[in-house]
Amino acid sequence: MPLTFIVAVAALARTWQLSQNEFSRQYYAAGVRSQLESWHNFLFNSFDPAGFVSIDKPPVAIWLQVISAKLLGFSALSILLAQVMAGLAAILLVYILVQKYWGRTAAAVAALSLALSPVNVAVDRSNNTESCLILVLLTAAWFGIRAAETGRLVLLCAAMAAIGVGFNIKMGAALVLAPVLALTFSLARPRAPVTWHLGRQVIAGMVLVIVSLSWAVLFDLAPARDRPYAGSTRHNSMLELALVHNGAARFLAMATPAGSPANSSPAASSETAPAGTVVRQPVMTDDSPVGLLRLFRPRAAAQFAWLLPLALLGLAFAWSDASGPGAARSRRISAAVWTGWLAMYWIVLSFAGGLIHTYYVAVLGPPLAVFSGIAAAGLWSRWQAGKLARMHLPLVIIATAAWQAYLCIARSETIGSDWLSVTWLTSIGIAAICAAGLCFLPQQNGRLPKLFAVVAFGALLVSPILTAASVVLRRPNIAAPIANMTALLAPSDTDRLASRTSRLEAARQKLTGYLTANRETAKFLVAVPNANVAAPLILATGQPVMAMGGYLGDDPILAPADIEQLVSDRQLRFVMLGGYTLAPAKQAAALEPIARWVRTKGRPVDPKLWRLSGASSSTPYRINLGNEWVEVPPPELFDLWRTAN
C-alpha cells in the first residue's frame, strides 16, 4: 500500500470540514492571539494581551500554533493546521519506525491504522496538545531505539531531551515513557559494567530534568510583577502547576466543592435555557471506574481499540519473532519500546482517578497501530508456512469481528433498523465469512486467500472509519473531542449552529461595542470572572481582557484592594460578574470578596445597553455545559468609575 495514499487518506480525514470546529478551544486560541502581540507574552505563555495570567499548560504546543498563525495569518484554520501537521508527521514517523525493523507491509498497516484511529483523528482536528505530545514521544522512541542499538550516550540524551520537550507540552504525561527508554537501553547491554550503566543513566537523567524544568524555572525565577500569574495555581508557581493541577490532580481523586464537579466544557460563551429545563450537574471528565478493565469498556475502547485483538496478537508475534533463533537484536529493542509504551500508558490511564478526559487515550494509538501492523505482516507469513500456524489468520479475524460487535452493540440504541447498524453488521458479517473461507481454502492457491484476507481486513476497518467520520461530518465536542458513530444518525445541525453562532456574535458585538465606546483611557477592556468568558472577547477584539480568577475562576490572583488600586490608577473601569463558568461553586467562593466590593463601589450598567435582551437580574440564568443545563448567577456589568451613589 503506497505511503502517499495513506497520507492522503489521513490528510482528508483531518482537514475535511475542519472549519466547522471554528477556534476549537477558545481558551487556547485566545492565548495564541495574545502571544502574537509581543515576545513577552510569547515567552511567558500569556493567556491575555496584557500578560495578566498564563495558560495553565506549558508553552511548546501553543508556541507551534503561534508560529503557524504568524506564518499564515491569525485565523481558526491556521491554529488548527498546526495539529493537523503534527498528526500527519506522527503517521510518517510510525511508518519509518516500523518499516526499518518489521518490513513495509507492517509499516503500511501500522500507518493506516493510526491514520484511521478515531480519537487520533479527533485530537488532530482540535487545538488540544495531544497531537504535538504524540509526535514528540515518537521522536523520543526513535532516539531511544537507536540509543539501545548503538549504546551511544548522545542518542540516549537526545531521547531524554525529547521527553523533556514533551514535559513542556503536557508535563507529567510525557514522563511515562522515560523509564521505558532508560530500561530498554540498559537491558540491551546486560554484560556492560554497572558503572557504565549508572554513569550513562545519571547523565541522561540530568538532561531530562534540565530540559523538562527549564521553562518552568525560568518562569518562576522571573519577578511576579514582570510576568503573568501562573494560571490554575494557588501560589503563582509554574512548578506547582506541574505537580498539582497537571500532576497529582490528574492521577488522584481531588476533593471538589459540592455541586461543582471538576469538569471541563467545550463552550466559551453562554445561552439561556428554556423555562422549565431540568438543571443537572454535568460530568465532562471520564468518571468510569478505575482498574484494568477501564480501557476495555466501550466508552474508551471505541476511541482507539477497534483492532485490539489484532494488536494483541501482534504483540505476541513481535516477541516471538524477536526471540527466535537468529533474530536481530534490533527487533527485541523495538518490541521492548513499543510494549513498554503500551503497558505504561495503559496502566496510568486505567488507574488515574483524577481529571482524566477520554481523549487522553490518543497516546495509545501509536503502539496499538504498530502491533496491528506487525500482526498483519506476521499472519500472512504464517499462513504461507502452513500447518497449525495458518489458523492464526481466520481466528484473529473472528476475534476482532466479535470485539467490534461488542463495541458497536454497546454504542447502538437500535440494531438493524437504521443504515448505520446495517452497515457495521454487514462489515462484521463479511469479515466472518472471509474468515470461514480461509479455514477451508487450500494453501497452494495464493491469490484467493490473499483476496479473502484483504477483504476481511478492509471490512474490519469499516467500524473505526464510521467512528472517525463522526468527528469529520458532525461537529464534535470541541473542548474534549471524542468520536461517537451514532452521531452520524443525527440530522446535520449546520443551520442550528449557524443560527447560534450568529446570535452569540450579535450579543458579543453589542457588549464589546458598549465597552469600547465607554472604556476611555482604561488599560483593560473589562474584567470578567474567568478565562472562558474572556476568551471570546479577546478573539473578537484583540484587547486586554482580565480573567480575574484564571481558567476556572478560582485562582487567588486578586484581592478587593487590587481592584481598588486598578480603578484608582484608571486602568480598569468595567467589571462583569456572574455568567458562564465551568466551576460555579469554586468561582463563587473565590471571587466573593471581589464581587461584594464591586457591588458596593460600582454602578450597575443597564442590561439594555450591552445585552441583546434586558432580562432582570432575578431571571434564572442557565448555561450549557456538555449538553447539560446548569443554573448560575446571571451576568452583571458594573461601572467602577461611577460610584453606586
Work out the pLDDT band at 253, boundaries 50, 70, 90.
low
Nearest in space to 212 (alpha carbons), one of 185, 183, 250, 174: 174
Output the pLDDT for position 173.
92
Weakest mean pLDDT among 105-119, 201-215, 341-355, 630-644: 630-644
Cα separation of 62 and 69, whole Å? 10
Q: What is the pLDDT of residue 498?
A: 76
**To the nearest whole number, what is the mean pLDDT of the chain?**
88
178 vs 442, higher pLDDT: 178
Provide, rounded to the nearest whole percent, the portion of the chain with pLDDT above 70. 90
Question: How far, CA to CA in Å, does 501 sit from each of 24, 497, 509, 530?
Answer: 13, 6, 12, 21
Give the span between the Cα atoms of 83 and 131, in whole angstroms: 6
Q: Of 566, 577, 560, nearest to 521 (Cα)?
A: 566
- Helical (H) or strand (E) element with 575: strand 574-577
pLDDT of residue 255: 47
For 629, phi and psi rounded to 5 degrees? -100, 125
The pLDDT value recorded for residue 482 is: 87
Nearest alpha carbon to residue 349 among 262, 286, 255: 286
Average pLDDT over residues 9-15: 96
- 445 pLDDT above the threshold of 70: no
The pLDDT score that the predictor gives to residue 264 is: 34
Confidence band of 304 (pLDDT split at 50, 70, 90): very high
Asked if residue 622 has pLDDT above 90, the reply is no
| Res. 620 pLDDT band, cuts 50 70 90 | low
Asked which of 127-136, 174-183, 231-240, 379-388 is least confident by mean pLDDT, the reply is 379-388
- pLDDT, tens digit, 9 for 90 and up, residues 378-412: 998 887 777 667 788 999 999 999 999 999 998 77
Digit-coded pLDDT (tens) for 502-512: 888 888 999 99
Q: Beginning with the edge strand found earlier in the chain, give each strand of the sheet holding 526-528 in spatial order.
A: 545-547, 526-528, 574-577, 636-643, 602-604
- Residue 283 and residue 480: Cα distance in Å, rounded? 12
Q: How far apart are CA 45 and CA 386, in angstroms?
A: 59
Q: What is the pLDDT of residues 517-569, one digit of tens each?
A: 999 999 999 999 999 999 999 999 999 999 999 999 999 999 999 999 999 99
Secondary structure of 171-227 as H, E, C letters? CHHHHCCHHHHHHHHHHCCCCCCHHHHHHHHHHHHHHHHHHHHHHHHHHHHCCHHHC
Residue found under cell 520537550 = 165
Predicted local distance difference test score (pLDDT) of residue 634: 87
Q: Specify the pLDDT at position 443.
A: 63
